[in-house]
Amino acid sequence: MESFFARFKNPLALIAIVLLQVIALAMQVQRPAKDADALSPSGAAESEEAAPDGHNVSLLRRWTVTAITPLETALQSSSARVRGAWDDYVDLRHTRQQNAALKDEVARLREEEASFAADAAQGRRLQKLLAFREQYALTNVAAEVIGTSGSDRSHVLYLNKGSDDGLKPDQPVITPDGVVGKIRDVFPHTSQLLLINDPSSGAGVVLATTRIRCILRGTETGQVQINDLTPDSRIKVGEPVITSGGDLVFPRGLPVGTVQSIALDPLHQPYTAITVKPAVDLNRLEEVLVITATSSTLPAAAAQDAAAAEATAQANQRAADLVAEKLPSLQPAVTPANGAGTAPVAGASGAKAAAGSPTATAPPPDDPESQVGGLPGIPNSGLPRSKPALHPDRFSPGAAPPAADMTPGAVAQSQNPVPSHNPAQDQNPPAQTGAGQQPDQQPDQQP
Amino acid sequence: MAERSYTSREELDQYGFHPGVTVMAPMVCILLQAMLPRTLPWLLHLDLPLIATIFFAVSRRSPIAGAVTGTLIGLFQDGLTNHPFGVDGIAKGIIGYVAASLGFAVDIDNVINRVALVFTLSLFQSGLLYLIAHWLLGQASYRLLPVQELISAAANSVVAIPVFYVLDRFRIRD
């Protein structure tokens, strides 16, 4: 017996080492499966590897990470200093042009921001009507990528922020460009970021154009795919993909990427493999934002901006309404269904007037006939000719017949005919000038 | 009749290493493996810890030492991934054992032998990882990507030449 062990010492040692690890593997694989539902709200969409480890395994992983990440952090910060010194003091080509371009862009973005805030306010009102609740990013923590897993089969990054900075497992990680992944494991000063292209990763998404909900997964090759949809001709290459919020990890509406290719999935017939090009370059991440809290209401600063933008928009609308009330002749004209001409209207009554009056055929504003003065050959260079009144009275020009035609003692007409402003319009019978237009039809806006 | 060995006396020489080198060399390999792909993503296809495992195994020519070294390096690598502990530990433990066993049979100071050894063991490790994922972890979606594995093996073989050359400087003849 002794000779047996002496003879097969090496293979026996190897078998023992492998067997121990197999047992350890079996224990680890079972442990997250038990706790997956409790720990991960998106458990159904993710495999066991996406769930945090059991206590003992987490301890082992913490030791490993604690041994390696201080070195990574030190190297990262020293390289950042060198790079910063180079960028700040040496490599300053084109800085002035970039600065001017950025200033222009900031001004443009500020204008856009006010417009978007008004649109967002309208969207929230509509969502309230539809009883939707949207999650907004309330607070976030900026973190720096300090390392990778070092394996092409494990798409994991390490961040320089941990539980001491308020990070917790399952918190979403984004950049201004879109979704990056979620926090998988958290240590005091470091955290493990699971990228969306890891095979164990999953996210609830919606195709922005077709509004089809589906699950996004990573693949072994580091791609991002949707493979739970059957072929659908409505899905096109280039369609944006955004988060649906259904996984309770990522807030709704964050950009994920665009559809890159659509093909039948050879392994899972009859489903398709829709490859998504991530909005973020996952291989070149340096800084990320970890969303540490979400809310169904906007953050205070954003809410103030939105309220200010909404108030400005309402004030502009009120001013426009006042001008419209005081100057009814400048209200938008209507284009009749037959396209024969246009007429100034004021709501339903205006439509009726357009239907029954020859004044319905007013010329378009860029017509030279509708302008007074101006330079010959240059459109819109003169003043607009006054349009006929909507409610003419006896003082309106042309409303009363010439004195020569009047008969002393004759009964006054109850309805004054409204003369056409344009002599050419008199030739158009009412039937051709929007007679068929209904009062509830919306008038087309003149440009 | 006396038995004849296919290996020379020189080939059977065993080398040792300073404890600092034994610890620091694999650590540096793991650190570089974790940091370099941040700026050069294609370096993820390299496996510097595998090169260190093979080097220490063939230099010591002790299968048990090779298996233990490989296991420790592999477990450390597992700690940085989202895989369970043991995936790389088992694979690199077996690689260390096989490399040390092969160290008896071939002259590992020859560059061509080194390249061939690293290339073969890289492919062997890919096969082991595939078996572990399929059989032990039940990951049906895990696929072998032949072209990618061949590229990785070739890259490891090329990078192994300078790494072995540097680590040769720290060898101590037992």
How many domains does chain B divide into? Answer: 1
pLDDT of residue A228: 87
- Are B90 and A154 an interchain contact pair (Cβ–Cβ within 8 Å)? no
Q: Is B44 on the interface with A (CB under 8 A)?
A: yes
Measure the CA–CA gap between B156 and B76, rounded to whole angstroms. Answer: 19
**Are both A209 and A322 inside the same structural domain?**
no
Average confidence (pLDDT) over B67-72: 95
Of B76, B85, B152, the CB nearest to A57: B85
Residues of B in contact with A201 (CB under 8 A): none
pLDDT of residue A62: 85
Q: Which of A245, A117, A17, A195 is closest to B67 using CA atoms?
A: A17
Of A68, A148, A198, the CB nearest to B38: A148
How many domains does chain A divide into? Answer: 2
In a domain, B148, yes or no: yes
Measure A80 CA to nearest chain B CA, in Å.
12
- ipTM exceeds 0.85, yes or no: no
- Are B84 and A156 an interchain contact pair (Cβ–Cβ within 8 Å)? no
Measure the CA–CA gap between A416 and A304, rounded to whole angstroms. Answer: 54
Write out the two tokens for B63. 């299968």
Of A64, A152, A185, the CB nearest to B76: A64
- Are A21 and B76 an interchain contact pair (Cβ–Cβ within 8 Å)? no
Nearest 5°: the CA angle A106, A108, A109 is 65
Measure the CA–CA gap between A40 and A202, rounded to whole angstroms. Answer: 12
- Are A152 and B86 an interchain contact pair (Cβ–Cβ within 8 Å)? no
In a domain, B66, yes or no: yes
Q: When comparing pLDDT for B38 and A380, which is higher?
A: B38
Q: When comparing pLDDT for A20 and A425, which is higher?
A: A20
Q: Is the pLDDT of residue A157 over 90?
A: yes
Measure the CA–CA gap between A321 and A423, rounded to whole angstroms. Answer: 31
Measure the CA–CA gap between A423 and A427, rounded to whole angstroms. Answer: 8
Q: Is the pLDDT of residue A132 over 80?
A: no
- Are B82 and A14 an interchain contact pair (Cβ–Cβ within 8 Å)? no
Q: Is B150 on the interface with A (CB under 8 A)?
A: no
In a domain, A412, yes or no: no
Residue-wise pLDDT tens digits, A278-322: 999 998 888 899 988 876 665 566 667 767 777 777 777 777 777
For residue A310, the enclosing domain spans 99-132+302-331
Highest mean pLDDT of the ranges A237-241, A359-363, B14-18: A237-241
DSSP string covering A269-308: TT-EEEEEEESS-GGG--EEEEEEEEESS--HHHHHHHHH
Rounded alpha-carbon distances, angstroms, from residue A358 to A342, A419, A421, A435: 10, 8, 9, 10
SS3 A92: coil
Residues of A in contact with B97 (CB under 8 A): 10, 14
Measure A60 CA to nearest chain B CA, in Å.
7
- Are A18 and B38 an interchain contact pair (Cβ–Cβ within 8 Å)? no
Residues of B in contact with A9 (CB under 8 A): 64
Picking from A36-45, A259-268, B143-152, which range would have the lowest pLDDT averaged per residue? A36-45
In a domain, B79, yes or no: yes
Residue A192 pairs in a beta bridge with A158, A185
In a domain, A174, yes or no: yes
Measure B15 CA to nearest chain A CA, in Å.
19
**Are both A153 and A281 inside the same structural domain?**
yes
**Are both A290 and A325 inside the same structural domain?**
no
Q: What residue in A sits closest to B129 (Cα-Cα)?
A: A153
Angle at which helix B63-80 crosses helix B19-39, to 10 degrees, equals 40
Q: Is B105 on the interface with A (CB under 8 A)?
A: no
In a domain, B1, yes or no: no
In a domain, A140, yes or no: yes
- Are A13 and B67 an interchain contact pair (Cβ–Cβ within 8 Å)? yes
In a domain, A435, yes or no: no
For residue B109, the enclosing domain spans 15-171
Burial class (CB in 10 A: 0-12, 13-18, 19+), A133: exposed
In a domain, A3, yes or no: no
Measure the CA–CA gap between A176 and A193, rounded to whole angstroms. Answer: 17
Of B64, B76, B145, the CB nearest to A13: B64
Residues of B in contact with A283 (CB under 8 A): 41
In a domain, B87, yes or no: yes
In a domain, A209, yes or no: yes
Measure A105 CA to nearest chain B CA, in Å.
29
Q: Which of A31, A34, A35, A33 is closest to A23 using CA atoms?
A: A31
Of B30, B87, B137, the CB nearest to A150: B30
Highest mean pLDDT of the ranges A258-267, A424-433, B154-163: B154-163
Average confidence (pLDDT) over A110-137: 69
In a domain, A214, yes or no: yes
**Are both A139 and A125 inside the same structural domain?**
no
**Are both A113 and A246 inside the same structural domain?**
no
- Are A29 and B137 an interchain contact pair (Cβ–Cβ within 8 Å)? yes
Measure the CA–CA gap between A157 and A147, rounded to whole angstroms. Answer: 6
Measure the CA–CA gap between A379 and A367, rounded to whole angstroms. Answer: 8
Q: What residue in A sits closest to B26 (Cα-Cα)?
A: A68
Picking from A101-115, A221-235, A326-340, B33-47, which range would have the lowest pLDDT averaged per residue? A326-340
Picking from A170-174, A422-426, B41-45, B112-116, which range would have the lowest pLDDT averaged per residue? A422-426
Q: Which of A357, A40, A82, A29 is closest to B86 using CA atoms?
A: A29
Q: Is B79 on the interface with A (CB under 8 A)?
A: yes
Q: At A168, which CATH number?
A: 2.40.10.340
**Are both A241 and A312 inside the same structural domain?**
no
Other Cβ atoms within 10 Å of B61 Cβ, number: 22
Q: Is B83 on the interface with A (CB under 8 A)?
A: yes
Measure the CA–CA gap between B45 and B156, rounded to whole angstroms. Answer: 8
**Are both A121 and A241 inside the same structural domain?**
no
Residues of B in contact with A150 (CB under 8 A): 30, 33-34, 37, 44, 49, 77, 80-81
Beta carbons of A355 and A335 less than 8 angstroms apart: no
Helix H or strand E encompassing B25: helix B19-39
Residues of B in contact with A18 (CB under 8 A): 90, 93-94
